[in-house]
Structure 1
Amino acid sequence: MHNHSHSRQSPDVGNIRAAFFLNLLFTVIEIVGGVLTNSVAILSDAVHDLGDSFSLGLSWYFQKIAKRPRTRKYTYGYRRFSLMGALVNSVILTVGSLLILINAVPRLFSPQQPDARGMLLLAVLGVLVNGAAVLRLRRGHSLNEKVVSLHMLEDVLGWLAVLVGAGIMYFVDAPFIDPLLSILISLYILFNVYRNIRQSMQIILQGSPGVVSPDEVEKAVKSLEKVSGIHDLHIWSVDGEYNVMTLHVVLSEPLSMNQLHQLKAEIRKRLHQLDVQHITIEFETPDEDCDLEVCS
């Protein structure tokens, strides 16, 4: 008795594609602006954004692969390729943030005065461009899109820091503000990356999805009139959105094929409401011995 429903909210490849082109375009603007303002800080951020563009392009590629239909080789489809994009981006974000920390900490003790006016102009443009990318990615639901949105959020926060810092430095001689804000932003990004890596590893290790409670599943199925119990319950997620479940349902009495079909439809309906998309059910009669060791 199997339910092979594949309807779900597909990740929006267009979101990541738009973020990629916005980031790449602004990287070019940063390089030109950094040269014109003679700002090493902006040129350094341009190099950082160039790395972001690479990771965004990689995420776009993985997201496109994730939409392919299932094959005999990948029987659950290519959804987990989206997860690979999230992991690669998490690693890049971690390395980038650590590099920022390595460069920002020494500047607290020997701050450098940048071109505040040029920084202000580029900061406003940076907030607008990267902010638009974040808003676009926030519409998505995949873990890959969430991690990619961290890239864009990092840039938005970075440019907000540049905007505030440049505004203060334009009127006050306080160049230490720029590295201090960079350190705080990097720590914030690292904290969010840790959360996303932890979520990704739970999916890879086939842990139970946080949105699906095994206790609620057991309660929903056992409350049916013709069910006396369940066991061998397994729940995992393919990509953080598409949740899979297998379970053995012990009947209170033998049922006809038509009755089993009706019972299966009711179980499927209840489990769909608990955010389970792919369900495999094995029915057992009251006096049947389960041949799996885990059933004991």
Structure 2
Amino acid sequence: MHDHRHDHMNSSSDRIGRVFFLNVAFTVIEFVGGWLTNSTAIMADAVHDLGDSLSIGLAWLLSKLSGKRADSMFSYGYHRFSLLGALINGFVLIAGSLWVLSEAVPRLSDPQSPNALGMLGLAILGVGVNGYAAYKLSRGKTLNERVLNWHLLEDVLGWLAVLVVSVTLLFVDWPILDPLLSIVFTLFILVNVIRVIVTTGSLLMQATPDKALYADVIGVFLETEHVAQAHHVHLWSLDGERHVMTAHLQLDECIGYVEQRSIKADLNNRLSKFNFIHTTIELEFPDEECRDESQD
């Protein structure tokens, strides 16, 4: 049988790999361009992109690792490594954003005029390259790709700021626009990345990925014939996409093998819409003591 999940992980890894090499090449161009145009803003962005390249390279490595199949050490597989990559990259992006703010804020009182024409050329190239890379990752659904997409979106917005500033500086002497726009865009990205980090941290702590989903699952259980109660219902996510669910269902009466098989078949059919990667459901008779009761 063809493994579509494995293909999905490969496509995710391939997208991140292409973006990594593209970002490294452009970072080199930025350093050269920043030196030639005498632009501290471009040089600062080059340093920031260098950090992005390291983050994307780490994400690529962890993404490939997360595609490994389950073994005796990681019985659920390696999918959670992509969450680790998302968390690390989120913190790197926060550190980079804070660094950009530390560079931009002082320039409000002492703005510097760079080579506007050179900035314009690099800005057009920067928007194109980073925009293409962001578009490639926007098709990904993993948290790892979402965080990396914010890296690239930050770069696109930053280059748009450079583009606007460079065009403006060709006509008027307002160098203060550069730090102002950098601050606005950096704060925008910072807020959104913090949200992603909170989500990623919650999933790593095995929080329920979706409260509405949890309620829907409980509803399915309680609507099933012969099910009187659902307890020890646990729902968590391996990587933000692949969810795992376990539950104990107490029956309203002692029923035979045929009825139990009917319940399981009914549940299998009704739970299929949730696309859980793993499910474990235990049926308990009315007079049966739950062996996990003392664990709550």
TM-score, structure 1 length as denominator?
0.93
Q: Deviations over 1:110-166 (max 9, x none)?
A: 100111111111101100100011111011111000001111001000000111111
Correspondence 1:266 to 2:266:
yes
Aligned to 1:216: 216
Label 1:259 to 1:239 Cα distance change in 2 as closer, same or farther (>3 A).
Answer: same
Correspondence 1:175 to 2:202:
no
Further displaced range: 252-261 or 218-227: 252-261
Aligned to 2:113: 113
- Alignment gaps of 5+ in structure 1: 1-5
Which whole-Å CA distance do the structure 2 matches of 1:275 and 1:212 have between them?
15
Work out whether residues 116 and 167 of structure 2, in 8 Å CA contact, stay in contact via their aligned partners in 1.
yes
Which whole-Å CA distance do the structure 1 matches of 2:78 and 2:211 have between them?
22
The AA in structure 2 aligned to 1:262 is: S
Work out whether residues 232 and 295 of structure 1, in 8 Å CA contact, stay in contact via their aligned partners in 2.
no
SS in structure 2 of the partner of residue 283 of structure 1: strand
Which whole-Å CA distance do the structure 1 matches of 2:260 and 2:293 have between them?
25
The Cα of 1:197 is off from its aligned counterpart by: 1.0
Aligned to 2:226: 226
Which whole-Å CA distance do the structure 1 matches of 2:251 and 2:27 have between them?
63
The AA in structure 1 aligned to 2:265 is: A
Work out whether residues 8 and 242 of structure 1, in 8 Å CA contact, stay in contact via their aligned partners in 2.
no
The Cα of 1:40 is off from its aligned counterpart by: 2.5
Matched residue pairs, number? Answer: 291
SS in structure 1 of the partner of residue 108 of structure 2: helix
Aligned to 1:53: 53
Work out whether residues 212 and 275 of structure 1, in 8 Å CA contact, stay in contact via their aligned partners in 2.
no
Alignment of 1:30-179 (within 5 A): 30-179=30-179
The Cα of 1:19 is off from its aligned counterpart by: 1.0
The AA in structure 2 aligned to 1:290 is: C
SS in structure 2 of the partner of residue 73 of structure 1: coil
Q: Deviations over 1:205-254 (max 9, x none)?
A: 11111265322111111111222221111111111111111101112333
* Greater relative contact order structure (CA < 8 Å, 6+ sep): 1
Structure 1 runs, 4 residues or longer, greater than 4 Å off: 6-9
The AA in structure 1 aligned to 2:277 is: Q
Further displaced range: 177-186 or 225-234: 225-234
Further displaced range: 35-44 or 161-170: 35-44
TM-score, structure 2 length as denominator?
0.93
The AA in structure 2 aligned to 1:145 is: E
RMSD of aligned Cα (Å): 1.8
Further displaced range: 253-262 or 30-39: 253-262
Which whole-Å CA distance do the structure 1 matches of 2:4 and 2:273 have between them?
14
Which whole-Å CA distance do the structure 2 matches of 1:128 and 1:148 have between them?
17
Which whole-Å CA distance do the structure 2 matches of 1:7 and 1:21 have between them?
26
The AA in structure 2 aligned to 1:130 is: N
Which whole-Å CA distance do the structure 2 matches of 1:55 and 1:292 have between them?
42
SS in structure 1 of the partner of residue 170 of structure 2: helix
Work out whether residues 131 and 152 of structure 1, in 8 Å CA contact, stay in contact via their aligned partners in 2.
yes
Which whole-Å CA distance do the structure 1 matches of 2:230 and 2:191 have between them?
39
Work out whether residues 86 and 143 of structure 1, in 8 Å CA contact, stay in contact via their aligned partners in 2.
yes
Q: Percent identity?
A: 48
SS in structure 2 of the partner of residue 72 of structure 1: coil
